[in-house]
Every structure is written in structure tokens, then in C-alpha cells.
């Protein structure tokens, strides 16, 4: 009769705490499988299989490697239409996309060249208008300068006119004094002559 000895210390973590969903490659199940093989070997007296196969199932069915499982999962989820596209077709698609982008770039370059040709006369006209506007601005600045100088000259002329008016007033006052002095002298002479004895 087969006698199986279990190491509960190794099985206890999986019993006390629920482990996440894993493949059968967990250390606890592998240890359990190795213990079963060791018991079978001890009772039969034959050397058991080498414990190098970490993916063998002690229940009786074999499980492939992780890569094989992943490949099967990916092949199950893959679209059958994608499987028909080989590397040559992908290369042809990439080449077609590159050719299409190159054609679009070439069309854009041609369009830009045409727009540059159409814009060139407008740019020349804009440069002429810009130079004319700059010349008008310089003329306007010159006129403003002349106007400022004219205002200064006008202010000087007004000041000079005021000075001449003041001087004319002084001359008139002086003339009035001289006129009164002559009248006084004439009156004195008349009185003096009339006062002489015959």
C-alpha cells in the first residue's frame, strides 16, 4: 500500500491565506509532487523521473511551458484575418504608406512653390508701399520740424513786436513832453515880448 507523507508546514500558507490564481508551477504543488515521487521510488525501489520537469502535472495530464500557454492564448485571441497577413504584405503596406506620404509631401512642396510665385509680385508691391510710406513719414516729420521752427519764429516776432510797441509808446511819451516844453517856451517868449516897453 502506498504511504504518502505530507509536509503541512509547506501547505499551511496556502490553507490559511488564499493564494491568487496561478499555474500549477507554484512551489507548494511542486513540493507535493516531488514528495509523491519520492514515496513511489522508495516503495518500488526504482529511480523516479528527474525532478527537472517543473511543469508536469501529478494528476495525470501534462501541461506545456509558459511560453506555449501564452502562445495558445494569443493565438486564441488573435483575429484570423490578421494571421493571413504575412511579412511581405506588411512590408508592401509600409511601402505603400511611405509612397503615399512622399507623394503628399511632393504635392505640398509644389503648392508652396506656386504660392511663392503668386506672392512674389505682392511682396514687391508691399516693399514699394513700405518704402513710400517710410518716405511719407520722413516728410511728415520734416514738416512737423518746420512747423515747430515756424512757431518759434512767430513767438520771436511777437516778442519783438511787443518790444517795438513799448518803444513806440516811450517815443510818443517823449514827443508829448517835448511838445509841452516847446509850448511852454513859446508862451514864455510871447509873454516876455509883450511885456517889453515900447
Q: Please determine, for residue 84, whether its predicted confidence score (pLDDT) is greater than 60.
A: no
Q: What is the pLDDT of residues 51-69, one digit of tens each?
A: 444 444 444 444 444 445 4
68-96 average pLDDT score = 55
Q: Are 66 and 23 in contact (CB under 8 A)?
A: yes
Contacts 24+ apart (CB under 8 A), 24-27: 24/55, 24/57, 24/63, 25/54, 25/55, 25/66
Helices (H), the chain: 8-16, 27-44, 66-77, 80-83, 87-194
Dihedral Cα 169, 175, 178, 180, nearest 10 deg: -90
Q: Among residues of the chain, what percentage have pLDDT more than 70?
A: 53
Average pLDDT, the chain: 72
Those residues whose C-beta lies under 8 Å from the C-beta of residue 109, and which sit 6 or more positions away, are none
Q: Please determine, for residue 32, whether its predicted confidence score (pLDDT) is greater than 90.
A: no
Rounded CA gap, 119 and 121, in Å? 6
9-22 average pLDDT score = 48
Each residue of 92-114: b (16+ CB within 10 Å) or e? eeeeeeeeeeeeeeeeeeeeeee
Q: What is the pLDDT of residues 132-159, one digit of tens each?
A: 999 999 999 999 999 999 999 999 999 9
Q: How many alpha carbons lie under 13 Å from residue 175 in its C-beta half-sphere?
A: 6
Q: Please determine, for residue 126, whether its predicted confidence score (pLDDT) is greater than 60.
A: yes
Helix axes 8-16 and 27-44, enclosed angle (nearest 10): 150
Rounded CA gap, 17 and 139, in Å? 96
Any idea which of 18-27, 81-90, 120-129, 176-185 has the lowest mean pLDDT? Answer: 18-27
pTM for the model: 0.34
Any idea which of 51-65, 83-97, 161-175 has the lowest mean pLDDT? Answer: 51-65
Rounded CA gap, 83 and 36, in Å? 43
- For residue 174, what pLDDT band results from cuts at 50, 70 and 90? very high
21-39 average pLDDT score = 55
Amino acid at each position: 500500500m502506498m504511504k504518502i507523507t505530507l509536509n503541512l508546514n509547506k501547505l499551511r500558507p496556502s490553507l490559511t491565506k488564499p493564494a491568487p490564481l496561478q499555474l500549477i508551477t507554484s512551489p507548494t504543488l511542486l513540493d507535493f509532487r516531488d514528495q509523491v515521487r519520492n514515496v513511489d521510488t522508495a516503495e518500488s525501489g526504482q529511480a523516479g523521473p528527474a525532478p527537472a520537469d517543473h511543469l508536469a502535472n501529478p494528476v495525470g495530464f501534462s501541461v506545456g511551458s509558459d511560453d506555449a500557454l501564452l502562445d495558445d492564448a494569443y493565438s486564441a485571441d488573435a483575429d484570423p484575418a490578421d494571421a493571413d497577413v504575412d511579412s511581405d504584405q506588411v512590408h508592401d503596406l509600409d511601402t505603400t504608406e511611405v509612397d503615399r506620404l512622399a507623394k503628399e509631401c511632393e504635392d505640398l512642396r509644389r503648392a508652396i512653390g506656386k504660392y511663392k510665385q503668386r506672392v512674389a509680385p505682392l511682396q514687391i508691391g508691399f516693399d514699394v508701399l513700405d518704402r513710400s510710406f517710410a518716405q511719407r513719414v520722413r516728410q511728415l516729420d520734416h514738416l512737423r520740424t518746420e512747423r515747430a521752427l515756424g512757431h518759434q519764429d512767430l513767438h520771436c516776432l511777437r516778442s519783438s513786436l511787443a518790444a517795438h510797441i513799448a518803444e513806440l509808446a516811450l517815443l510818443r511819451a517823449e514827443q508829448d513832453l517835448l511838445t509841452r516844453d516847446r509850448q511852454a517856451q513859446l508862451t514864455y517868449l510871447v509873454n516876455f515880448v509883450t511885456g517889453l516897453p515900447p
